[in-house]
Amino acid sequence: MTPKELKERLKEWARVEKKKIAGIEGTRAKAEYIWEYYKIWIVCIIFFVWFAGFAIHQYATNRMDYRCYIIFNNTNADVGTDSELWFDYVRYAGFDSDDGDIEFNAQSYFDYLKGVTGNSYFESFVTYADGGILDGFVTGTESLRALGKSGRLLDLNSEECASIKAKYGDRFIYSEPYDEDYAGKEVPVGIDISDSKLVKEYHAYVDPISLGIGAKSENIDAVELFLDFILEK
């Protein structure tokens, strides 16, 4: 059927249907007739219209452009979003909720040293890291050092974090990556924060901990502010 033929057929059908409906007595009977024959179409159309509305609404309001996304690994303390730590940080950094979301994820439990195969939390971490969403990652120092070998944490010698290097270079944790290009060379992948407020004030951790920055992070300044916040005297 060519498009023209299709149009003709539809017009013809519409005409016949309209006549039929006009021929039925009473609005109630008309409604019953329409429902009887076209209920599937009606339901489908309603669903699609609702869905289109939903999709547009979501697109307009819910797209997450995180201003700062930090994962706190292996902690049982309440340091996630809307926690005390979160509020204090947001206040310190002077962020406005209009700037985009600030998300602290404390639901992460994996130890790279003990093996992470099949650990869904680790897979989450990889998704966020490779997707460019992860900004900061806090976990035990040795664990972070091992994790740094995979190249998912930012090389702290790079230009983007020059200011971090200037301030906290003495706290750097070094690691030798898997990548053959770096054979023998050690790369700073984390910043030791064992004496920070996270341990002392918020009691989120006990053992030596470090913070790493996501390799594809676009909010390194936010992480720097976080570092300033927890390391300030």
Partner 1 sequence: MENARTRDRVSKTIMYIVLIIMAFIMLVPFAWMILTALKTNQEAISVSPFYIFPHNGWHWETFSEVWKSYNFFLLYKNTLLMIFFRVVCACLTATMAGYAFGRLKFPGKNFLFSLVLIQMMIPSTIFIIPQYLMVSGLGWLNTCAGLVFPGIVTAFGTYLLKTGYQGLPKDLEEAAGIDGCNIGQKFLRIMMPLTRSSMVSLGIFTALFAFKDLMWPMIVCTSVQTTTLAAGLAKAQGQYGSNYPQMMGAAVLAVIPMIVIYVIFQKQFVEGIATSGGKL
Partner 2 sequence: MKEKRKMTAKEKNEATWGYFFVAPTIIGLIILNFYPAVDTVIQSFCKTGDFGKGNIFVGLANYQRAFADPEIWQSLLNTIKYAIIEVPFGVIIALILAVFLNKKLKGTSFFRTVFFLPMVCAPAAVAMVWKWLYNQQFGLINNVFHSNVGWISDPKIAWISVGIIGVWSIIGYNMVLFISGLQEIPGDYYEAAEIDGATGIRQFFDITIPLLSPTTFFIVQTRVIGALTIFDLMFMVMDKTNLALSKVESAVYVFYNYTFTQGNKGYGAAIVMILVVFIMIVTVIMQRAEKRFVFYN
Query: Which residues lie near partner 1 (CB under 8 A)?
Result: 54-55, 58-64, 76, 103, 105, 107-109, 120-121, 123-124, 126-128, 130-131, 133
Binding partner of 53, given partner 1, partner 2, none, CB within 5-8 angstroms per partner class: none
Binding partner of 182, given partner 1, partner 2, none, CB within 5-8 angstroms per partner class: partner 2
Nearest to 139 by CA among 175, 186, 193: 193
The CA distances from residue 164 to 113, 171, 191, in Å, are 27, 10, 9
Long-range Cβ contact pairs of 89-93 (< 8 A, separation 24 or more): 89/225, 89/226, 89/229, 92/225, 92/228, 92/229, 93/68, 93/222, 93/225, 93/226, 93/229
Query: Which residues lie near partner 2 (CB under 8 A)?
Result: 1, 115-118, 122-123, 126, 130, 149-155, 158, 177-179, 181-182, 187, 215-217
Binding partner of 139, given partner 1, partner 2, none, CB within 5-8 angstroms per partner class: none
Nearest residue (CB) to partner 1, 68 versus 191: 68
Binding partner of 46, given partner 1, partner 2, none, CB within 5-8 angstroms per partner class: none
Indicate the SS3 state at residue 64: coil
Nearest residue (CB) to partner 2, 130 versus 195: 130
Rounded-to-10 torsion of CA 214, 217, 220, 223: -50
Nearest residue (CB) to partner 1, 23 versus 59: 59
CB of 115 to partner 2, least distance (A): 4
**Beta partners for 70?**
104, 136
CB of 215 to partner 2, least distance (A): 4
> In the numeric block, which tokens belong to residue 206?
């006990």
